[in-house]
Amino acid sequence: MIEDREEYVDRRSWLERFMGGRPGGVVVRLILLSLVAGFFMSVFGVDATEIFRGAVELVRETLRDSAGVARTTLNYVLTGAALVVPIWLLLRLTAKRR
């Protein structure tokens, strides 16, 4: 038994391993699942264009908000550095004189 496992070689192509089966069968299953999902989405009033628009808007808002957060963070760092760096420099200069 153990010897059989060691000699087992996966003879499927990289595409079959990636897709999880024969590409034709996987494509057919994906089409059928998409059909069923699309039916249920339309029953509940969800449109594919709304999903894509929402995703694009989400990315835009995330970038806008993250730019604001980065700007605010940089402002805090610069404000703090205006106090911390001169104090550090004075401490370093006075430490050398001792």
Which amino acid belongs to residue 19? M
What pLDDT, on the 0 to 100 scale, is given for residue 35?
92
Asked which of 4-8, 19-23, 27-31, 54-58 is least confident by mean pLDDT, the reply is: 4-8
* Whether the predicted pLDDT of 36 surpasses 70: yes
Which distant-in-sequence residues (6+ apart) come within 8 Å of 17 by Cβ?
10
Structural domain count, the chain: 1
Tens of pLDDT along 64-95?
888 888 888 999 999 999 989 888 888 888 88
- Say what the pLDDT of residue 1 is: 53
pLDDT averaged over the chain? 85
Q: What residue numbers bound the domain in which 25 lies?
A: 2-97
